Structure formats: structure tokens, C-alpha cells
Amino acid sequence: MFSGLFNYDNPVWRFIGKFGDLIILNILWFICSIPIVTMGASTTAVYYVTLKLARDEDGYTIRSFFKSFKENFKQATLIWLILLVLGAILGVDMYFFTRLFTGSTVVKTVMLTIFLAMGLIYLAVATYIFPLQSRFYNGIRRTFFNAFFMSLRHLFRTIGIIVIDGALVAAGFVFLIPPVLMVFMLFGFPLVAFINSYMLTPVFDRYTPKEERSEDDELRPLFAENGDEPVNSILLAKGDEHKNEKDTNELK
């Protein structure tokens, strides 16, 4: 009885161990995000580890983090800078029509509605893009493209992720609920990524190529054209078994 309780392969200990990994990830993410410009690479690296944790895959947290950070640094940084610029533009536009615009009320309402819709799309894309970057090989344009349409294809899951993330952030930093704030101080953003990873893993599994599939579990392309023929947008999963295939199989 006691030998099973203190066995490190026990599900309880494995679950506790994951929270230990999140504390380590929080430290790594914070340090590697200090220059701000590197936040995209550090966020991608966090998702690389949390997606593994969600799939119960064993690995070394620190080594996996820096492996992903190094491999994705250039592209993840460019994606982050693009999102940063787009977010700034949306923020300025929203501020202008909310605070500074003195024209027609109808025009103000229409423009705010448009920018609010664009803001929701922005959040949806931002929710998927770094997990996608951490898990699949794609060019920048294709990563944005897949993040946008995947968020639409799995709309209810996307809404659920945004609502849960928003509720956690609001409880911790807006309403200053002490227990939630303490949890955020301890686990930080990796806790959000960890929760998201559990919700995103079933989605990503649908697009991960596998060598063997039954007829009832055939590979589903993300998009298709001409009714039957899939376009070249099947997501190629990252992993050690794909290292040597990266150059020949990268999706543009």
C-alpha cells in the first residue's frame, strides 16, 4: 500500500510533479521575456513543454524549454512583433473612437463594433498561434492562416479558452482575489498555458500525421479544395522523430 503511495509513477505524484514543472517554467518564462522582444520565443517554449505535460510525455523541463526557445527563436520573435504591432494599432483605434472621436454617434458605434470584432479575432489568433508554432512546422504566413481558421473551425473550444483565460486573469489582477493572485505569483503564465494545453491537445491531435491510422481515424487535413483534394496545409508535428524531415517537409 505505502510502496504504491510513494511510487513516483503514481498518478498523484505525477500530477504534483507537473505543478513543480510549472514553477520552473514560470521562472524561465519571466527571465527570458525580460527583453520583451523575446516574449514570443519564451511563450512558444512554454507551450512546447506544457503540451508535452498535457500528453503525459516524459522529458526534462529545462532542456525542453531551451530546445524550443532556440529552435523557434527567429520565427516566434517575428510572430510576436507582428502581433505586437497589430495589437498596438487596434488599441490606438479603440482609444481614439472611445475617448477622442467627437463625430456622429452612429459612426462611432459602427467603428467600435468593427474594432471590437477585430479584437476578438486577434485574441482567437493569439490563443492558437504560439501553441501551433511550438508543435508544428509552418512558415509565418501559414501559421497565421492556420491559427485563424483553426480558431474558427473549433469556435466553441476557442471561446471556452478565451473565457477561462479571461476569468483567471480578471480574478487575479482585476478583482485582486488573494488566492488566485497568489497562484498567479507562483505559477504565472505557464499555468494559463497548461490549462490551454489540455484544451488544445485534442484539437492538435486531429492534425498530427501518424504512420498508422485505421479507416475510422483517417488523417484529416485542415483545409480542402475542389471538394476532395486537400491543400498543402496538413500540419507537420514537431518532435524528435521529425528532426531529419524538417527541411523536406516544411509547409509553406
Four-residue CA torsion sign, 31, 35, 37, 38: negative
CA gap 127, 200 in Å, rounded: 10
- Answer for the pair 96, 117: CB distance below 8 angstroms, yes or no: no
- Answer for the pair 54, 82: CB distance below 8 angstroms, yes or no: no
Task: State residue 56's pLDDT score.
Answer: 85
Q: Which single residue is written with the C-alpha cell 516544411?
A: 250
Q: Which of 5, 168, 10, 140 is nearest to 72 (CA)?
A: 140
Biggest CA pair distance of the chain: 74
Task: State residue 17's pLDDT score.
Answer: 80
Task: State residue 124's pLDDT score.
Answer: 96
φ/ψ region of 159 (left if φ > 0, alpha if ψ in -120 to 50, else beta) reads alpha
Q: Which of 158, 184, 187, 159 is nearest to 171 (CA)?
A: 184
- Answer for the pair 190, 50: CB distance below 8 angstroms, yes or no: yes
Residue 25, C-beta contacts closer than 8 angstroms, at least 6 positions apart:
46, 49, 50, 61, 65, 190, 193
Task: State residue 200's pLDDT score.
Answer: 95
Task: State residue 164's pLDDT score.
Answer: 94
CA gap 49, 59 in Å, rounded: 9
Backbone Cα Rg of the chain: 20
- Answer for the pair 76, 44: CB distance below 8 angstroms, yes or no: yes
Per-residue pLDDT of the chain (252 residues; tens, 9 = 90+): 444 545 556 666 677 788 889 999 999 999 999 999 999 999 999 999 999 999 888 778 999 999 999 999 999 999 999 999 999 999 999 999 998 888 888 999 999 999 999 999 999 999 999 999 999 888 999 999 999 999 999 999 999 999 999 998 888 777 777 887 788 888 989 999 999 999 999 999 888 766 533 344 333 434 433 333 333 444 555 654 444 444 434 433
Task: State residue 58's pLDDT score.
Answer: 74
Task: State residue 227's pLDDT score.
Answer: 39
- Please name the helix (run of DSSP H) or strand (run of DSSP E) that holds residue 109, with its range, or none: helix 105-135
Structure-block grid coordinates of residue 34:
525580460
Cβ-based neighbour number of residue 21 at 10 Å: 21
Strands (E), 121-170: 136-137
Task: State residue 185's pLDDT score.
Answer: 85
